[in-house]
């Protein structure tokens, strides 16, 4: 195949562009690369290759759509730059097929007018762009207000939004997206990644505890670590019940306890018992956890066990 034919094949099929980058996509990655859905939700285990596949998407958009703007947003500058660095590394691997007008740690501007820009998720500094492809990394940790500020960037361009993350509990826009039909949903667990061994996963389950393991590696939207009550218990506590009969129709009704009150009392006692058990499990998990710290909103916490710390070790 000639160089021109190879180039054109990459333009038509992003999977072929990945092959030119010496990257053999997993089946789910090939599906994502070929997707044309306007909203793509990648609920991924850690280390399955979500950054790699979205880097190919970003580069494909910039190379083959003149004057395209690709925006990479993450909760922190470091995370945005990490994804951006993969894009620029792929660009260099291809031999810089379109000359760069400007290239630095935050932006790659090409001769065809396209730009790839990396920004942290700061609402004040992120407004004002019209975007053809918006990539949101670690989406579960991007606040609702920030998501609301970036969504309008796609209104005029008719651009695409690809958001990827591991889950972080049943809250926020990232979880709500799984409850609608407006997104193309992909769930990729660690067991689906051929590069992650069963032995490693067994060790991680023992180290993290089941709840954290389910979130980090099995893509489960579990209740927030350390929460006092489970979401299911809260919902059950307010289960609908039939009101008691009027006293005139059933004179003995005034002597019977309200069945709704009994249901609520039973669930509250169950929630209290579960809270004690959960707090015990949390303390044991935090005691043996090899902490990995993340700072969000000025608060440092461990992404594995949710332990908060005011001073993070160097």
Pull the structure tokens for residue 95: 């031999």
Query: Does residue 109 share a domain with residue 21?
Result: yes
* Strands 133-137 vs 308-309: parallel, antiparallel or unpaired: unpaired
Residue 119 and residue 185 in one domain:
yes
Long-range contacts of 144-148 (CB under 8 A, 24+ apart): 144/172, 144/173, 146/73, 146/121, 146/122, 147/173, 148/173
Range of the domain at 255: 231-289
pLDDT values of the chain reduced to their tens digit, one per residue, 314 residues: 556 667 677 788 999 999 999 999 999 999 999 999 999 999 999 999 999 999 999 999 999 999 999 999 988 888 888 999 999 999 999 999 999 999 998 999 999 999 999 988 765 567 778 999 999 999 999 999 889 888 889 988 999 999 999 999 898 999 999 999 999 999 999 999 999 999 999 999 999 999 999 999 999 998 654 444 455 554 444 455 445 455 444 444 445 555 555 555 665 676 666 666 666 666 666 666 667 677 665 667 676 666 666 554 44
CATH of the domain at 86: 3.40.50.300
| DSSP secondary structure, 32-71, as one string | HHH---SEEEEEE-TTSSHHHHHHHHHHHHHHHSTT-EEE
**Total domain count for the chain?**
2
Q: Which of 177, 196, 215 is the last residue of a domain?
A: 196
């Amino acid at each position: 195949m000639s160089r021109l034919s190879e180039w054109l094949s990459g333009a038509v099929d992003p999977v072929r562009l990945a092959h030119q980058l010496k990257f053999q996509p997993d089946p789910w990655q090939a599906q994502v690369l070929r997707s044309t859905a306007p909203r793509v939700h990648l609920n991924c285990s850690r280390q399955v290759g979500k950054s790699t596949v979205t880097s190919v998407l970003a580069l494909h958009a910039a190379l083959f759509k003149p004057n395209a703007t690709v925006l990479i947003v993450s909760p922190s500058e470091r995370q945005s730059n990490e994804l951006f660095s993969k894009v620029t590394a792929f660009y260099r691997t291809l031999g810089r097929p379109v000359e760069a007008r400007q290239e630095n740690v935050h932006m790659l501007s090409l001769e065809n007018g396209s730009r790839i820009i990396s920004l942290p998720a700061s609402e004040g500094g992120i407004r004002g762009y019209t975007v053809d492809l918006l990539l949101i990394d670690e989406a579960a940790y991007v606040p609702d207000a920030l998501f609301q500020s970036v969504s309008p960037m796609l209104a005029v361009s008719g651009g695409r939004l690809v958001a990827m993350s591991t889950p972080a509990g049943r809250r926020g826009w990232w979880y709500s997206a799984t409850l609608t039909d407006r997104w193309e949903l992909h769930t990729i667990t660690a067991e689906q990644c051929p590069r992650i061994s069963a032995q490693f996963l067994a060790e991680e389950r023992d180290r993290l505890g089941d709840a954290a393991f389910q979130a980090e590696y099995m893509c489960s939207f579990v209740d927030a670590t350390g929460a006092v009550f489970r979401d299911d218990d809260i919902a059950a506590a307010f289960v609908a019940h039939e009101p008691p009969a009027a006293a005139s129709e059933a004179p003995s009704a005034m002597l019977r306890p309200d069945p709704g009150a009994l249901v609520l009392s039973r669930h509250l006692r169950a929630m209290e018992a579960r809270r004690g058990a959960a707090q015990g499990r949390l303390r044991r998990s935090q005691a043996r956890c090899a902490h990995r710290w993340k700072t969000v909103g000025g608060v440092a916490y461990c992404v594995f066990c949710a332990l908060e710390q005011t001073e993070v070790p160097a």
